[in-house]
């Protein structure tokens, strides 16, 4: 496929990762109030009084948050410097947030490498306009974009130089709250392999061209048009989305998103930083910012403990007890105990892919069974001592109704191995009812350091025990057993992307009783109501290509347990599926990498 004559047909697709490589101000928001921080409990207050002084709120954002305004000299040179450091630093320690104050910037090309976030500091994307590009390409990996992970763009308006902005990403690379005054190309230069991705609360005035992108999820946005699809393109609440047509073209289109609440974001009011907390929407469609000021509440930075790498988990927890929220500035944080989020409405917001590493087998973050916690924008990287869990939303047995004010988990990513040996029995456990998981990538590494069937052992990716949980944009890959195990009632998933573990040594290693292999997505036997739209599972058993996976999906056969638009794919014939879901669906075969699909089940 040449750049001069793009074809709606994708190029030959290979597998994702290995081919091609051997204080307080009044709020300026409509209908918004500025909530005060919740007072600590009497016991907590007494504990705080014993301290020499309370921890301060607010403060400097640190050296790896780089803030520009239109008069800043040498912006392009600084962007290029960060990109040189981060372009190929897939498992490096650098973390950066590039923040642009409201205004107009001319002639910029912000190329984004690993662990780099770029964002505007206005209340609306149109407050911060770049006449130029925010670019992700794959020159560092010979034109293969399947490893362009861990980078993000938020809250900017772009006027691309040639009319189309390039955003060739894979997993954990959200494109949120963006306005592209032109088109958006989701493939690398040369139309090499690509494996993404996620767009939310964004407006693309022109055409979105995925070209070689294997799968993509777009939520609550507006687009001029959509060009093509490879395997699994899912839309919910998107104005201008193509009509439902799975499997040919492979479009799954929902008119609205049942429940959504956009990710918190940092912005400037005058010279003061604040964090905006968008309100919950039901049956959402289109962007939140398109018709005037967005709706929600606003917190001053003085209500946040601004954390720097090197701070202890005890200090983070003290800040939470004292009623502060957490803003994690870019860097790596080692934890010798869990971060305990026990107060309703707490915000834990990371900048620049702030990374939490639990040491000694502890859990990184534990959230109580309370209303309205918002976790957003950070990476949890498993440590070398096995953790039973890495992230827990609600304790075991949590049962409170949070429908009016759910907990949200957004752009929170989990990694086991890759940067070094890591282990976790279960990566993410959702026990609280009504939790919204909005874009996550939970990944047992298939490449990098500390990778092997037992070296980075991780049996389960996401386990959902809570009722009424909604997942929008669920990416979970390579776990030794079930990638997703869903035990709660009335769960819903819109878009799921999965690859089974590559490195199983033999058929016996994945045997699940009498069943060949663990399903990528397993609905518990006791579940009576569940629904999923646009779910895909791929296998690439490169250590032993003779391995057979019975199915990608497993669920009880009940009228209330329903699936729409499922697919399984054998990547190049490295392993095969016998069925798609339970005993239904045609087997994959040969080396042609053609999906086997089921449009409706049961």
Query: Which active-site residues does the annotation give?
Result: 499
First to last CA, the chain: 39
286 dihedral zone (left: phi>0; alpha: psi -120 to 50; beta): left
List b or e across 9-19, with b for residues whose CB sees 16 or more CB atoms inside 10 angstroms.
ebeebbbbbbb
- Rounded to whole angstroms, the Cα distance separating 380 from 389 reads 11
Q: By three-state DSSP, how is residue 46 classified?
A: helix
- Rounded to whole angstroms, the Cα distance separating 451 from 187 reads 28
Q: Is the bond preceding 254 in cis, omega lying within 30 degrees of 0?
A: no
What values do phi and psi take at 75, rounded to 5? -60, -45
- Rounded to whole angstroms, the Cα distance separating 91 from 113 reads 12
- Rounded to whole angstroms, the Cα distance separating 439 from 340 reads 22
DSSP 274-335: EEEEEPEEEEE-S-SSSSSSPBEEEEEGGGEEEE-TT--HHHHHHHHHTT-EEEE-SSEEEE
> In the numeric block, which tokens belong to residue 459?
């049996």
DSSP designation for 509: G
Integer-rounded Cα radius of gyration of the chain: 23
Contact 466, 394 (CB under 8 A): yes
- Rounded to whole angstroms, the Cα distance separating 196 from 275 reads 28
Q: By three-state DSSP, how is residue 86 classified?
A: helix
DSSP designation for 235: E
- Rounded to whole angstroms, the Cα distance separating 273 from 316 reads 20
């Amino acid at each position: 496929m040449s750049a001069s004559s793009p074809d709606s047909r994708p190029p030959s697709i290979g597998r994702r990762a290995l081919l091609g490589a051997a204080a307080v101000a009044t709020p300026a928001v409509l209908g918004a109030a500025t909530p005060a921080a919740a007072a600590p409990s009497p016991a907590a207050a007494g504990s705080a009084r014993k301290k020499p002084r309370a921890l301060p709120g607010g403060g400097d954002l640190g050296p790896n948050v780089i803030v520009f305004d239109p008069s800043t000299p040498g912006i392009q040179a600084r962007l290029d410097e960060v990109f040189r450091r981060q372009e190929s630093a897939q498992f490096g320690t650098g973390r950066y947030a590039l923040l642009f104050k409201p205004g107009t910037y001319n002639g910029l090309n912000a190329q984004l490498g690993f662990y780099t976030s770029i964002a505007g500091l206005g209340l609306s994307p149109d407050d911060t306009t770049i006449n130029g590009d925010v670019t992700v390409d794959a020159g560092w990996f010979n034109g293969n974009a399947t490893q362009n992970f861990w980078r993000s763009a938020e809250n900017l308006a772009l006027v691309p130089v040639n009319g189309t902005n390039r955003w060739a990403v894979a997993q954990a690379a959200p494109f949120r709250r963006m306005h592209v005054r032109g088109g958006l190309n989701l493939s690398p230069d040369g139309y090499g392999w690509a494996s993404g991705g996620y767009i939310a609360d964004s407006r693309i005035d022109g055409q979105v061209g995925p070209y070689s992108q294997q799968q993509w999820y777009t939520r609550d946005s507006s687009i001029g048009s959509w060009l093509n699809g490879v395997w699994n393109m899912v839309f919910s609440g998107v104005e201008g989305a193509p009509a439902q047509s799975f499997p040919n073209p492979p479009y799954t289109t929902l008119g609205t998103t049942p429940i959504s609440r956009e990710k918190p974001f940092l912005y400037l009011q005058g010279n003061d930083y604040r964090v905006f907390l968008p309100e919950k929407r039901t049956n959402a469609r289109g962007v939140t910012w398109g018709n005037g000021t967005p709706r929600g509440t606003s917190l001053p930075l003085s209500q946040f403990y601004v954390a720097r790498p090197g701070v202890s988990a005890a200090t983070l927890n003290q800040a939470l007890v004292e009623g502060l929220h957490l803003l994690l500035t870019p860097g790596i944080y080692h934890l010798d105990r869990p971060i305990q989020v026990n107060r309703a409405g707490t915000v834990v917001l990371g900048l620049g892919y702030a990374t939490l590493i639990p040491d000694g087998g502890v859990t990184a973050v534990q959230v109580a069974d309370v209303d309205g916690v918002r976790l957003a924008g950070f990476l949890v990287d498993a440590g070398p001592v096995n953790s039973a869990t890495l992230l827990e939303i609600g304790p075991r047995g949590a049962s409170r109704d949070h429908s009016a004010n759910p907990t949200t988990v957004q752009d929170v990513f989990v990694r086991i191995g890759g940067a070094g040996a890591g282990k976790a029995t279960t990566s993410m456990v959702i026990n609280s009812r009504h939790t919204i998981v909005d874009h996550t990538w939970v990944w047992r590494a298939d490449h990098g350091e500390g990778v092997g069937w037992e070296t980075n052992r991780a049996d389960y990716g996401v386990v959902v025990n809570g009722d009424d949980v909604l997942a929008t944009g669920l990416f979970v890959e390579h776990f030794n057993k079930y990638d997703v195990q869903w035990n709660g009632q009335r769960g819903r998933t819109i878009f799921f992307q999965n690859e089974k573990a590559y490195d199983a040594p033999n058929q016996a290693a994945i045997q699940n009783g009498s069943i060949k292999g663990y399903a990528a997505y397993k609905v518990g036997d006791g579940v009576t109501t569940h629904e999923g739209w646009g779910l895909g599972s791929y296998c690439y058993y490169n250590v032993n290509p003779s391995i057979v996976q019975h199915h990608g999906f497993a669920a009880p056969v009940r009228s209330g347990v329903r699936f729409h638009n499922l697919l399984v794919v054998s990547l190049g014939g490295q392993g095969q599926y016998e069925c798609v879901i339970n005993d239904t669906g045609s087997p994959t075969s040969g080396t042609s990498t053609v999906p086997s699909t089921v449009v409706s089940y049961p």
